[in-house]
Amino acid sequence: MAGQSDPHLSIFSAPEVEFLAEDEVIEIVPNIRMESLHMICGDFGPFFPQIAAKVPLWLAVALKRRGKCAIRVPEWMSVERLTQALEAERESPREFQTLPFHYVEISRLLFDHAHDDIPDEYMVRSLIEDIRDVRFHKVETGLESISGRTHAVKLKNLSAMEVNIVRPFIIRTLQAFYKHDSPQMIQQPEATGNRRSQVADRGPRRDLRPR
């Protein structure tokens, strides 16, 4: 119970985040006939050869591994869309582009289990890497500008895996600033009265501190 390290700082493991992503729906083209599946997580099928069907990713991967289907790579994973995304990501230093909340996990699962279904696999792989790098760098730059007590940091469109990577650092940093920049610790200038700061939607992080 001795509490040097707070276990809540890394609450999800990467495989747990992947587990969550496996419920995302994806399209498959089966090569078999199979009756509808009435599962706890939902109803899927019936399945007919060459007729596309929507299933959760884990189910798609299970069928694919047994050679029973091809997976239709989602549209956002095309070279064209990813190239656009990367460009947009580079052009707007304070915003994250809209990508699936689980884009990192989905793409890895598809690389691992359905690489033969991905056109231009290597290009797609490296585009996704680049996008993740640019976005990660943005988080870092955003964090560098924190300089005092911050009540809220906005990270609209940051994805699940990205959240998981930066969580320990962001939480500890915000806590340190919260503690050191407190009225108990620092002589505050005269009370600021009713100054309110509204959050505008303009960046990966927003420092809501009014002064």
Partner 1 sequence: MEEEPMSVVFQVGANGVGLLDPGSETNNVEKGAKVDLPFWLAHDLYLRQATSINVPACFNQKTRKEIQADAACVDLRMRCPYFYELGCKTVPLVGDKSIGSFLLQAFSSRYKEVLSKSHSTPTTTASKFLPRLTKEETQLFEAAQSSMASFKKWRVGGSRLEKASILGKKRKTTLPIDPPSP
Partner 2 sequence: MASGSEPWSSGVAEEDALIGETTDVELLKRAWRNEKAAPEILQFQAALVLRAREQIQLLEGTVEEFVGNGVDDLAVSLYQMDLDRTQFLLRSYLRLRLQKIEKYMIHISKTNLWNRLSEQEQNFAKRCTDIMEKHLEQSVLSRLPFGYQSILKQSISSEEDDMVPEPQLDTFVFCKTRGDVGAFQLDDTGDEMVDLVADDLYVLRYKSIKGLVENGQIDLV
**Count of Cβ atoms closer than 10 Å to residue 177 Cβ:** 16
CA dist 136 and 130 (Å) reads: 10
Residue 40 touches partner 2, criterion: CB under 8 A: yes
Instruction: Give the CA count within 13 Å in the CB-facing half-sphere of 131.
Output: 30
Site string for partner 1, 99-138 (x = CB under 8 A): ---------x---x-----------------------x--
Q: Which residues pair with 42 in a beta bridge?
A: 39
The single-letter code of the amino acid at 189 is: P
Residue 14 touches partner 2, criterion: CB under 8 A: no
The single-letter code of the amino acid at 28 is: I
Bond preceding residue 183 cis, omega within 30 of 0: no
Residue 112 touches partner 2, criterion: CB under 8 A: no
Nearest to partner 1 of 29, 174 (CB atom): 174
- Binding segment toward partner 1, per CB under 8 A, in 29-37, 71-79, 86-94, 143-151: 143-151
CA dist 132 and 107 (Å) reads: 12
From the CB of 207, what's the least distance to partner 1, in Å?
13
Residue 202 touches partner 2, criterion: CB under 8 A: no
From the CB of 207, what's the least distance to partner 2, in Å?
11
Among 21, 57, 69, 99, binds partner 2 (CB under 8 A): 99
Structure tokens at 90: 């580079």
- Residue pair 182/120 in contact by the 8 Å Cβ criterion: no
Residue 146 touches partner 2, criterion: CB under 8 A: no
Nearest to 74 by CA among 27, 121, 131: 27
Which residues of the shown chain bind partner 2 in the complex (CB under 8 A)? 1, 3, 6, 8, 11-12, 19-20, 22-25, 32, 34-35, 37, 39-42, 58-59, 62-63, 66, 68, 74-76, 81, 84-85, 88, 97-101, 103, 151-158, 160, 163, 167, 170-171, 174-175, 178, 192, 194-199, 201, 208-210
